[in-house]
């Protein structure tokens, strides 16, 4: 019997998620879930095959009583839901839909937007258990997610680069976190000039540390490694709860027959010698402040996602 390809081997240890807005890529790799973000949506609507989704969202709001930026935000929300529902027609699990990054420091506005997005899904017949609302892993984002989770709105806390962010999210009871492996790698590679490989990769180490902490102290929040730069990073995290992977890396795994072995194990992590950290807002802000990489990458990620939303609004504005 021939060896299963690396992607199929990985699926034995980890739930594989497609990190794309491209429907055909999602179909090709048969992931359980799929994630999107403002950058992926912005890129997608500039491609001919996805323009009809944008055109429909615009047409549906032609006679809206709203105007200006409020109208543009409404079109974007409708577009996000359209992408999400198309994705859910392909995957059996969940889709992640992102709250506007410009709300990352506003608890009430984030909760309001999360309720609104879930409401749009439910009006169209999509059950909330198939949706994860993506929120930036700021202190305010974690507090907003805590409120949402109590209302049955499952959240995916994104732009996560450090243990204090992960702890705040777990104590908020969020359903899932997305630590960004590749962006951590990018930071240290640029700073040191070193090509990190395998277990020494600082992005991989960060996820391993978070995974161990969660399993040690019995948190039910799932860990989904994200933002990969190479399949070596993915292989080092085999056994993580979930991994969200871009199409090019999914294909590389599919084309490989090299063995994939479990690297993260919940039972082993639960037995690890790890000290528990009492997390409150002051501790969170101090620990984040002391971490140059996490501080820089969180701020940069919020700015980038916000900029892509602004560009999408500008495209929409030209149609009214």
Positions marked active-site = 134
For the record, the structure tokens of 63 come out as: 């006679």
Measured at the CA of 210, the angle between CA 240 and CA 40, to 5 degrees, comes to 65
Angstrom CA distances, 66 to 72, 73, 111, 208, 320, stand at 9, 10, 21, 47, 11
Q: How far apart are CA 57 and CA 107, in angstroms?
A: 27
Which residues, including other chains, have CB under 8 Å from residue 157's CB and lie 6 or more apart?
134, 135, 136, 137, 141, 142, 145, 165, 169, 174, 176, 177, 178
Long-range CB contacts (within 8 A, 24+) of 153-159: 153/114, 153/115, 153/118, 153/128, 154/94, 154/128, 154/129, 155/114, 156/35, 156/96, 156/132, 156/224, 158/37, 158/96, 158/98, 158/134, 158/226, 158/301, 159/297, 159/298, 159/301, 159/302, 159/305
Q: How far apart are CA 244 and CA 29, in angstroms?
A: 12
91: left (phi over 0), alpha (psi -120 to 50) or beta: beta
């Amino acid at each position: 019997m021939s060896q299963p390809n690396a992607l199929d081997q990985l699926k034995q240890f980890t739930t594989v998620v497609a990190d794309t807005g491209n429907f055909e890529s999602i179909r090709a790799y048969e992931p359980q879930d799929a994630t999107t973000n403002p950058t992926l949506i912005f890129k997608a609507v500039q491609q001919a095959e996805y323009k009809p989704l944008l055109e429909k969202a615009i047409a549906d709001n032609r006679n809206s009583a709203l105007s200006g930026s409020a109208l543009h935000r409404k079109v974007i929300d409708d577009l996000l839901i359209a992408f999400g529902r198309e994705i859910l027609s392909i995957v059996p699990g969940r889709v992640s839909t992102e709250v506007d990054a410009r709300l990352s420091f506003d608890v009430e506005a984030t909760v309001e937007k999360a309720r609104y997005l879930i409401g749009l899904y439910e009006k169209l017949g999509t059950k909330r258990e198939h949706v994860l609302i993506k929120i930036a892993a700021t202190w305010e984002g974690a507090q907003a997610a805590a409120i949402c989770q109590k209302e049955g709105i499952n959240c995916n806390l994104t732009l996560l680069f450090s243990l204090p962010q992960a702890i705040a999210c777990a104590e908020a009871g969020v359903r899932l976190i997305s630590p960004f492996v590749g962006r951590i790698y990018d930071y240290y590679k640029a700073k040191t000039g070193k090509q990190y490989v395998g277990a020494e990769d600082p992005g991989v180490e960060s996820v391993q540390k978070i995974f161990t902490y969660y399993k040690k102290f019995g948190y039910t929040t799932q860990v989904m490694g994200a933002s990969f730069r190479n399949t070596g990073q993915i292989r080092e995290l085999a056994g993580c709860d979930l991994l969200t992977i871009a199409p090019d890396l999914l294909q590389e795994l599919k084309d490989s027959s090299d063995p994939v072995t479990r690297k993260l194990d919940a039972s082993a992590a639960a037995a690890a010698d790890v000290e528990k950290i009492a997390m409150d807002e002051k501790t969170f802000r101090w620990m984040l402040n002391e971490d140059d990489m996490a501080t820089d990458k969180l701020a940069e990620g919020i700015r980038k996602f916000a900029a892509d939303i602004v560009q999408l609004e500008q495209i929409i504005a030209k149609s009214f």
